[in-house]
A and B are shown apart, each in its own frame.
Chain A
Amino acid sequence: MIPDRIIEQGTLTTDGARSSVEVRIPWYRAIPGSCISEVSLAVDGVPAPAQSLRWGMNGKTFRIDELADKIDEWWFPLDSAVVSGDIPIRADAREHRVDVELKLYIPYIIIGDDEVLRIEEHDTKTMSARSTGEAAA
């Protein structure tokens, strides 16, 4: 629906071992954490190990599997979530290719018996990386 906006330009940050990027919802309305099904992050083709991924939203940080029961933690259409994972890169002027894939349940679209629509959206953008300290300043 709005996949071109998933990755926010210029938000790649790293501490050398972990990298993160801000992401926007590719849908027109809020969904709760329970509808965030799968997340992947890769920088320069190197994917973050699934166990290392974290999802930051509403000032809190979750493992992806922790989102499954978060029905009261909403991802609002104007808010950036933060996806981070173990990907070692250096904060310098070099351009990095960032790939994010999101698989989201759309909770009001029931497509079969007990089956809820799940959309798969992907975005790729190129940007340089800032160091985590610099980004926080």
Chain B
Amino acid sequence: MNVYAKEFNESARRYTADLRHRELIQKALAGYYAKRDEFKNRFQSWPGARDLAAEIKWEAINHLDRYLDEFVSKLEARGTKVFWAPGAQEARDYIVGVARQHQVRAIIKSKSMTAEEIHLNDALEKAGFEVVESDLGEYIVQLREEPPYHLVFPAMHLTRQQISDLFHDKLGSEPTNNPEDLTMAARRVLRRKYCKADMGISGANFAIAETGMISITENEGNARLTTSLPKIHVALVGIEKVLPRLSDLALFLPMLATAGAGQSITCYNTLYGGPRQPGEPDGPEEFHVVLLDNRRTEILADAEQRDALHCIRCGACLNVCPIFKNIGGHSYGTTYQGPIGSVITPHLRGLQDWKHLSQASSLCGACTETCPVKINLHHHLLHNRRNAVRAQPARLEKLIQSAFVLMMRRPKLYQFAARMGRLAQPLQPLVRGTILDPLRAWTKTRSFPPLAQKSFRELWRERKAS
């Protein structure tokens, strides 16, 4: 077992035993489910909307070269500097380079999972720049020096008490049980940062090819401030964020809000099409868009799983996943959590190292059912399992599978094995829970049923005879 799988198991063990965590997450999501369903039901047809969304993303991803070129040429026409980044290193180097070139002193950042993916903050800090996260949840986990817990709700795992202690410790603020007071404490600190920062870094939710704009969705207004006041704005955008037309947003903005946060629409949906244009009173002097591949083209090349690139990063699949809810976002040990994370991480970071995420699933299908763009998520977990085995079958497991096939292709052998099982059954209580117990992974926490005295086949034969 590789180190990632080991850490996963250890973390999952800890979290699944933590009943406080289990309750906290269930409580946090209860309100989301109710609101999500309320707004889904307002659609004339949510299934119809899903079909259209799936089609639009299919069109975008399956003509990605055309739409990327259109996006970039429109952006460049209005003075945006576009950098194509084949990998994480190139993206990091470019952004650090921009900061150095402009002798930036303070950087403010709005939420970007893509920036997490390439460990951008680390690179900037090593290069001597201060980077402050402006999204409240991201700011909180930044102060705690831990990664975001969830794609959309980075601090979902924390109580107000923990946040109060954190702010008291790091900001010197008064301990309080009131979420509003805590929010205002962060607001006061971050407000000064916006006004002083010389560079703002953002992600993007969508990249509109037709008009050469990025679209950023947020509730707090921190992304707007990050991109309005500093004189340089750098946006890091995965190549898969592309949408063909501006009008596509009319569908995607409400769907993202409903599926992702149980809202009818998110508070701020902002389109950025360039640096400050002539006649505009504010806005950055320079606008850079860094287009990131970083192995997304490998997912693109896997035609069977290409639809994983349709993902709009709404987080809905996390919210319905019973595995996610019980093991928590940090157990995944990688940037993208939940079902989508389990599907794409093997492609982004290596199949053999990360196949365990695809194995740690009961394949219940709740993710596929909820995905607003109809990605075949749980079937891709099966595909990852198959691909992992094809590339590198585990010798012992292959042996067991072969034995299984042998048995199941010979009814007499299958029935013989069942008879042996019945004979051995009285011995099971003697070894239960010990290393000799083949069922101990089960019997440690659950009772195991006895083999029936007579199998269905035997009962059927008796019935026929009488």
Partners in one complex: no
Task: Report B's interface with A, CB cutoff 8 A.
Answer: none
